[in-house]
Structure 1
Amino acid sequence: MTLLAGKRVLITGGSTGIGAAAAVEAARQGADVAINYATSEDRAQQVIADIQAMGRKALAVRGDVADPDTAQDFIARAVEAFGGVDVFVNNAGICPFHALLDMPVAVVERTFRVNLHGAYYMVQAAANQMVKQGHGGAIVAVSSISALVGGEFQTHYTPTKAGVHSLMQSAAIALGKHNIRCNSVLPGTILTEINREDLADLDKRRRMEARVPLGRLGEAEDLAGPIIFLASDMAQYVTGAALLVDGGAFVNLQ
């Protein structure tokens, strides 16, 4: 059984990490996949090759999600290539770790524009296309465990991820009448480009692993299944939900 057979799936930040893993899994589950990416041309083309190797259509569109025009371009290019949009996954995000007291304005502005403003414009553009098509759809946003807890060097990042989580809750209400479901996944610490430098500190990495009941940090592929589930008809009565994918870290308070 393929959970996304015949679906047209769009994913932002799809050249690396969680986005790339979700893109490849969506193709494995029968979808044609378009990815947005900002800089990683070689990796984007590798994802495209992996999708095409499974016999599915693939498209890579370069663009900075912080620019509202990127959302319109991404949706338009995907519609031109595939004929429509059935699933949209908002994944693109950044987390430049920095202390609060001397946080540069430019870092705060960039983080909000990519993570939250970018999500808003992308979700809005995808939703408008789904409404125009008239047969519903699914939107999945990659939020974070950081939407629920704090981080000393993430005071600019955690509010954006809380915002993405909240965006999905409100969008679920606004779009329910159009049969468009909106949900979020909340990853714990996942080994991706976003934290590779931070987790190069082996002592810190071991401390973080010790906090996770399942005994390890996450891999990008650990998010692919939950994203595909929420995008699929198996979750046809699930909207406004948030799924923690953190190995149990959030509940481990003692």
Structure 2
Amino acid sequence: MSKLLEGKRVCVTGASAGIGRAVAIGCARHGADVAVNFANDSNGADSAVAEIEALGQRAIAVQGDVAEAESATRLISHTVKALGGVDIFVNNAGICPFHAFLDMPAETFERTMRVNLHGAYFMVQAAANQMVKQGHGGSIIAMSSISALVGGEYQTHYTPTKAGVLSLMQSTAIALGKHGIRCNALLPGTILTDINKDDLADTDKRRYMEGRVPLGRLGQPQDMVGPTVFLASDELSGYVTGAALLVDGGAFVNLQ
């Protein structure tokens, strides 16, 4: 396998499990050293680090709640100290505590906003500042969602954050283009992770969701690796910025 990210330093938020973990290890398979951010799952983060190191790459785990602005500068400073810099930043951390709209607790709404949108803003800002300081550009990739484009009855607090992340990548693409920093968004469909494990425990609902996908299955975290590496690679996507790539098995276009 060609190593498309040879010599690059990658930082991934929310990388102890799910999409973030798959992306972190996938980048290492392509030759990158990786900083793994995690909130609480130290065992998951440590095992991700071990798997990356087994591939012959350097890796560190950095704990931090992305909802806290100061955790962004701490994550980047730890990454720079351990790996020497940041060339690729993947904003992945997010939550989606499903809840009805009419009785949405204020704290649930506010926590979702702080993690998904405020966290993305300050994390991307910290990574961008480091890339500007380094002076040789970089790639910033944010995990938005198909939910940026469609609504969800129990996601009225979540869908606006993912639309905001998509918009953030469009605006930062403009703001950072003069520094050679590319900013793009990935829009996953339904990916089988802890974020929707309880919601999809209902067999009938899972079958219904699978039936809406033209490719006939729900996504796996590994499905996000290739698109991330594509957007991270200067060789493959050096002229791609401000873009949004759906990775949903065709769900969005299946309106009939």
Distance (Å, rounded) in 1 between the aligned partners of 2:36 and 2:172:
22
What is the aligned partner in structure 2 of residue 118 from structure 1? 119
Distance (Å, rounded) in 2 between the aligned partners of 1:249 and 1:6:
36
What is the aligned partner in structure 2 of residue 253 from structure 1? 255
How far has the Cα of 1:252 moved from its partner? Answer: 0.2
What is the aligned partner in structure 1 of residue 79 from structure 2? 78
Distance (Å, rounded) in 2 between the aligned partners of 1:122 and 1:22:
17
TM-score by length of 1: 1.00
What is the aligned partner in structure 2 of residue 235 from structure 1? 237
How far has the Cα of 1:141 moved from its partner? Answer: 0.2
The 5 Å alignment of 1:96-175 reads 96-175=97-176
What is the aligned partner in structure 2 of residue 210 from structure 1? 211
Q: Which runs of 5+ in 2 are unaligned?
A: none
Q: Does 1:180 align with 2:181?
A: yes
What is the aligned partner in structure 2 of residue 42 from structure 1? 43
Give a deviation string over 1:71-119, Cα, whole Å, max 9, x none. 0000000000011100000000000000000000000000000000000
Q: Residue 173 of structure 2 aligns to which amino acid in structure 1?
A: A
* Percentage identity across paired residues of the two chains: 70
Q: Residue 114 of structure 1 aligns to which amino acid in structure 2?
A: V
Q: Residue 220 of structure 2 aligns to which amino acid in structure 1?
A: E
Find runs of 4+ consecutive structure 1 residues off by over 4 angstroms: none
Distance (Å, rounded) in 2 between the aligned partners of 1:18 and 1:171:
23
Q: Residue 195 of structure 1 aligns to which amino acid in structure 2?
A: N
Distance (Å, rounded) in 2 between the aligned partners of 1:19 and 1:80:
22
Q: Does 1:6 align with 2:24?
A: no
Distance (Å, rounded) in 1 between the aligned partners of 2:106 and 2:161:
15
TM-score by length of 2: 0.99
What is the aligned partner in structure 2 of residue 244 from structure 1? 246
Q: Residue 29 of structure 1 aligns to which amino acid in structure 2?
A: H
Distance (Å, rounded) in 2 between the aligned partners of 1:228 and 1:21:
11
Q: Residue 75 of structure 2 aligns to which amino acid in structure 1?
A: F
What is the aligned partner in structure 1 of residue 58 from structure 2? 57
How far has the Cα of 1:209 moved from its partner? Answer: 0.2
Q: Residue 249 of structure 2 aligns to which amino acid in structure 1?
A: G
How far has the Cα of 1:8 moved from its partner? Answer: 0.1
What is the aligned partner in structure 2 of residue 21 from structure 1? 22
Give a deviation string over 1:130-170, Cα, whole Å, max 9, x none. 00000000000000000000000000000000000000000
How many pairs does the alignment contain?
A: 254
How far has the Cα of 1:200 moved from its partner? Answer: 0.2
Distance (Å, rounded) in 2 between the aligned partners of 1:70 and 1:179:
25
Q: Which runs of 5+ in 1 are unaligned?
A: none
Give a deviation string over 1:4-43, Cα, whole Å, max 9, x none. 0000000000100000000000000000000110011111
Distance (Å, rounded) in 2 between the aligned partners of 1:92 and 1:45:
17
What is the aligned partner in structure 1 of residue 31 from structure 2? 30
Q: Residue 239 of structure 2 aligns to which amino acid in structure 1?
A: Y
